[in-house]
Structure 1
Amino acid sequence: MGDLVRNLGLCVLGHKGATIKRIGRPALALVAAALLPACSVLPGTGPTSDAVHGNATAGLRSNAALPYALVDISADTIGFLSQPNLITFQGVFPDKRPKPQQVVGVGDVLNISIFEAAPGGLFTPATAAGARPGNFVDLPAQAVDQKGAIYVPYAGEIPAAARTLPEIQQAIVARLRNRAIEPQVVVSLNQQHSSVVSVLGDVNTPGVLALNSVGERLLALIARAGGPKFEAVESYVTLQRDGRRVKVLLSRVVHDPRENIFIRPNDVIFITRESPTFTALGALNQNVFGFNSEIPFDVESLTLAQAIGKAGGLNDQQSDPAEVYVYRYEDRPLLEKLGVDTKRFSYDRIPTVYHLNLRDPGGMLLAAGFQMRTKDVMYVANAKVVDYYKLLTLISNTANTTSATANAVTNVNTAVKTRW
């Protein structure tokens, strides 16, 4: 209580030297004692930091700082930073057109028709002469078993997996040549279960689709699945192939034909709704007006200048144009191209802070070239004078409050003396 009274008295003396003498130490102590219980009923949004730290049963505290790279957005670096630097399908999965021949796989079901040159052969008895033009027989549909083979009467087990339909036909003819009358064989695909693609996620009719024999591209498969449920600019396509997974914005696939690659059997296509966004913090007009700090791109690519505009621009009364920052995790190869020594970082995704000076006359041009990425954090620092202004405002408000309290106590003392 003594310290509180002393501090309160100092605040009063700092504003009006004679006030403390008029109030008196006992009256000031009375005011301080009356104000202490009010602290527990003041408005708040949750527990205080002292309460959180003091009531913890166990924990782990650390003062270790996260290592990061600081890169200036300048004429030397904008050449790299102006590129979207996005992972692409055609970069990870080279767009090589599949073979035009359709290859049979395990689980496929085949139709087999065997023709002979004359009746009375292995499959066409003499009594059937003329009854069936062409003297042929249709075998029951044959499914390719787990060993990759089918069974043909009198020909035995025929390897079929990883073969084209003409190759299977020739293999059957070779087995029957010495037993049937000039045999000819026609093999066609009844049901396809090996050359399939799964299209899942935010499409209108997700499911497993069979690929045709000439090959199909990514957008064709998405269209066969009913198309995306949401706009292309807020939908991502994830392609999973051979244990690798690549994620690309659907609008990029639509606008860049090179990204519309051919799909291979057993690929998995997953469509998700994920609108690209960035977070805007600091001395920006949108934060002053209370707008949401997470802002959608609404376009396929967004520059830093556009991001600042979406955030309402810099606050003229608060911001320091020389201190504009973009926070993100950057790939090691790009930082090495920029000339950053990455040997001090032990991981491939390196925390990176990009700095832009908009007081530089060319700063706006650099901002117009710098490419934002989804989940970036844009921060504009306060001008240094803002901290002094905050301090002066706090001192002024404290002095005014103390003066008003002192006047109220003086009035009470005067009223009490007058009454008694």
Structure 2
Amino acid sequence: MRKLAPFVFIALLSACARPSDGPSAGAFYNTVDPNTKERVPVVRLADAPMAPPVAQPLSYAPTDQGLSVMRSGGYADNRLRRGDVIEVTILDTGEEGMFSSTQAKTLNLGRFTVDSAGTVTMPFIGRQRVLESSPEALQSRIVSGLKGSAVNPQAVVTIVDKPTSGFVVNGDVRAAGRFPLTARRERVLDAIALAGGASSAPTAANVTLIRGNKRASAPIERVMNDNNQNVYLLPDDQIYVGKDSTTFTAFGAFKSVGEFEFEPGKLTLAQAFGRAGGLLDDRANASQVYLLRNQTVYKPYPTASDAKTPSTYSVSNKPAVYRIDMKDIANLALMQRFQMAKGDMLYAANAGMVDFAKLFTIYQKSAPSAAAPLPGSN
């Protein structure tokens, strides 16, 4: 009886707190939703939905205005500022004008930058103060300055660059930088296109618009589908494109644990196991592998005019647990059809003897020996 006492003691300890790197297989059957306090059922893979949940097109709460809070009429001010670059072209249709000795009837005077004093110096016209002038007003002044040397002069002033009225695009784009606002009145999607486009898919990217001390964000997919989100830009706006990665995680007795990225709709459960390197032969309980998912639940908000027609949806999560029995050949076939969803978590439980062996190893460890004395010490 005395010989069995140590083993009885170990068995009692293992029942109380055995060493493990995660929950046991039985713990999944006692899972409770922390919000509703309801039991979360463990569903066999054969009864699980093979396709990932499909998001509703209007899955935004009424209070989520996205980028629409930044709506404006756009930038239409073409007055000249310091640092602006203009291009001046002169036309003369008269027979005895300043171009009468040449075949051409136009002369490109070149490009000129508005200096710190707000002036530009042009051939034939001289120094002109152009600060706060419009291109049309400057054209009239150039024509007036050419009256003595041209019969029927005309002028065209084009704004080539307005550094003071640009916007910046950064983040997950192919060509980040600063871009000028033009008379086209650029919008958010125009800015992203000028930056070479987002590096990730629209379903996996968010755009944030920063204007002064205000900011607003929305998925690029929402901006593409809702014209109210594609707002006009103003000078000094900053646009940041962020990547909203679609990932799943693997824990427990997998050969490779961690977070793995994937493209939505293109990763099966079998491929996810391959990403994680498969199960550890000496640790995993192949019949007790679980997939945990927060299923998205959409509840419609009825409109004021027609309660039967939902305008937007509230979004909430409902936990679900699916059991994968790798020892069942039918499950291996189902794994090739089951589609992974964003945020899925895979957990492979340890075999029962593995946790017991860990506990037994603790009591087999030898007592630590004293450290060796330092050289030269007594």
Q: TM-score, normalised to structure 2's length?
A: 0.48
Flag the structure with higher strand content: 2
Report 1 or 2 for greater relative contact order, CA contacts < 8 Å, sequence distance ≥ 6.
2
Q: Which has the larger radius of gyration?
A: 1
Flag the structure with higher helix content: 1
Q: TM-score, normalised to structure 1's length?
A: 0.44
